[in-house]
Amino acid sequence: MLVEFEDYKFIEGGICAAKGFKAGGVNAGIKAGSTKKDLALISCEKKCAAAAIYTQNKVKGAPIAVTKRHLENGVAQAVIVNSGNANTCNENGIEIAEKMCVLTANALNIDDADIIVGSTGVIGQKLSIDPIQDKIPELASMLSESGSSDACEAIMTTDTRKKEVAVEFTLGGKTCHIGGISKGSGMINPNMATMLCFITTDAAIRAELLQKALKRTADITYNMVCVDGDTSTNDMACIMASGLAENKEITSEDGDYETFVNGLYAVMMNLARETARDGEGATRLIECAVKGAPSEEVARRAAKSVISSSLVKAALFAADANCGRILCALGYTEGDFDIDRTEVVLLSNKGSIKVYEDGVSLPYDEDTAHDILSADEVTIAVDLKSGFHRAVAWGCDLTYDYVKINAEYRS
Residue 267 half-sphere exposure toward CB, CA atoms < 13 A: 35
Whether residue 223 contacts residue 198, with contact meaning beta carbons closer than 8 Å, is answered with no
Q: Catalytic residue, from 194, 201, 259, 379: name it.
A: 194
> Which segments of the chain belong to CATH 3.10.20.340?
285-407
Residue 334 CB-density burial (10 A; 0-12 exposed, 13-18 middle, 19+ buried)? exposed
CB atoms near residue 372 (< 10 Å)? 22
Whether residue 188 contacts residue 273, with contact meaning beta carbons closer than 8 Å, is answered with no
pLDDT at 359: 86
Whether residue 373 contacts residue 285, with contact meaning beta carbons closer than 8 Å, is answered with no
Whether residue 152 contacts residue 144, with contact meaning beta carbons closer than 8 Å, is answered with no
Q: pTM, whole model, 2 decimals?
A: 0.89
CA–CA distance, 154 with 266 (Å, rounded to integer): 24
The share of the chain scoring above pLDDT 90, in percent, equals 73
**Known catalytic residue: 194?**
yes
CA–CA distance, 348 with 286 (Å, rounded to integer): 10
> Which segments of the chain belong to CATH 3.60.70.12?
9-275
Whether residue 97 contacts residue 81, with contact meaning beta carbons closer than 8 Å, is answered with no
The CATH superfamily assigned to 285-407 is: ArgJ beta chain, C-terminal domain (3.10.20.340)
Average pLDDT, the chain: 91
3-state secondary structure of 47: strand
Whether residue 298 contacts residue 341, with contact meaning beta carbons closer than 8 Å, is answered with no
Residue 363 CB-density burial (10 A; 0-12 exposed, 13-18 middle, 19+ buried)? exposed
Paired sense of beta strands 360-361 and 377-383, if any: unpaired
pLDDT at 184: 73
pLDDT tens-digit readout, 88-141 = 888 899 999 999 999 999 999 999 999 999 998 888 889 999 999 999 999 999
CA–CA distance, 403 with 280 (Å, rounded to integer): 9
Q: Report the CATH number of the 9-275 domain.
A: 3.60.70.12
The DSSP bridge partners found for residue 289 are 381, 392
399 or 368: whose pLDDT is higher?
368
pLDDT tens-digit readout, 265-292 = 999 999 988 888 777 777 899 999 999 9
